[in-house]
C-alpha cells in the first residue's frame, strides 16, 4: 500500500458540536498519523475557492455559507492508503447511506452538515493540502 497524505477537515458543525476529539481519536485509532493541524474560520470567498469544483451545483451557495459559518479544523493525515482509509472512516456523503460505525452515520444530521471533509484522490489531496498548509507547517 502506498504511503499517502490526505486533507481532512472537521466542518463547522463538528467543531460546534464538540466532536473534534472524537473525530481525531478515530483517525489515530485507524493508524493515520497527524502531520499538520490548525483551526481557522474560512471567509465566504475562501470557502468558495476551496469548493470551486462544485460551483455549478445547486447547493454551492448554501454549502459555502455553511463552511464559512464557524471555525473548522484542517489536518494533514498520513498513512498507508490514507485517502481511502479516511474516506472509509467518514462514510458516504449522505449520512443516510453511510455505513454503520462511520463518522457521518454516527453524527451527521444533514447531507450538507456532515461533520467531515476528506480528499478523494491523490491529485485533489495535493491541491487541498496546499490550500491550507505551507511547507513550514508540515512535519
Ligand atoms: P464528499 O467528498 O463526500 O464531501 O462529497 P462531495 O464532494 O460530493 O460534496 C462536497 C460537500 O457538499 C459534501 O460533503 C456536503 O457537505 C455537500 N453536499 C453534497 N451533496 C449535497 C446536496 O445534495 N445538498 C447539499 N445541501 N449539500 C451537499
Pocket residue to mutate for ligand 1, from 64, 90, 93, most atoms within 8 A of Cβ: 93
Q: What is the pLDDT of residue 1?
A: 80
Give 112 Cα–ligand 1 centroid separation in angstroms.
6
Lining residues, ligand 1, CB within 6 Å? 59, 62-63, 93, 111-112, 114, 117, 120
Q: What is the pLDDT of residue 93?
A: 98
Q: For residue 90, give the ligand 1 atom closest to its CA.
A: 3
For 3-134, CATH number out of 3.30.1490.20, 3.30.70.141, 3.90.76.10, 2.40.240.20 equals 3.30.70.141
Query: Strand 72-80's sheet: what is its strand order?
Result: 33-40, 72-80, 3-10, 116-118
Q: For residue 66, give the ligand 1 atom closest to its CA.
A: 16
Burial 75-89 (b: 16+ CB within 10 A, else e): bbbbbeebbebbbeb
Q: Is the pTM of this model over 0.95?
A: yes
Question: Per residue, what are the HEC states of 43-85?
Answer: CHHHHHHHCHHHCCCCCHHHHHHHHCCCCEEEEEEEEECHHHH
Q: Give catalytic status of residue 41 as yes or no.
A: no
Query: In this structure, which residue's CA is closest to atom 27 in ligand 1?
Result: 112
What is the rounded CA–CA span in Å between residue 98 and residue 107?
11
Which residues, 6 or more positions from 117, have their beta carbon under 8 angstroms from its beta carbon? 7, 8, 9, 11
Give 64 Cα–ligand 1 centroid separation in angstroms.
11
Query: What's the average pLDDT block by block, 10 residues per block, for the chain (139 residues)?
Result: 96 98 98 98 98 98 98 98 98 98 98 98 98 94
Q: What is the pLDDT of residue 105?
A: 98
Q: What is the pLDDT of residue 139?
A: 82
Amino acid at each position: 500500500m502506498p504511503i499517502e497524505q490526505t486533507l481532512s477537515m472537521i466542518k463547522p458543525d463538528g467543531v460546534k458540536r464538540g466532536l473534534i476529539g472524537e473525530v481525531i481519536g478515530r483517525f489515530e485509532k485507524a493508524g493515520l498519523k497527524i502531520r499538520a493541524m490548525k483551526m481557522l474560520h474560512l471567509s465566504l470567498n475562501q470557502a468558495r475557492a476551496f469548493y470551486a469544483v462544485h460551483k455549478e451545483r445547486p447547493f454551492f451557495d448554501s454549502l459555502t455559507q455553511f463552511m464559512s459559518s464557524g471555525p473548522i479544523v484542517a489536518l494533514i493525515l498520513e498513512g498507508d492508503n490514507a485517502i481511502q482509509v479516511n474516506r472509509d472512516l467518514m462514510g458516504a456523503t449522505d449520512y443516510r447511506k453511510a455505513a454503520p460505525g462511520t463518522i457521518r452515520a454516527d453524527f451527521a444530521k444533514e447531507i450538507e452538515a456532515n461533520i467531515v471533509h476528506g480528499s478523494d484522490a491523490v491529485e485533489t489531496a495535493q491541491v487541498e493540502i496546499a490550500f491550507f498548509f505551507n511547507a513550514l507547517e508540515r512535519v
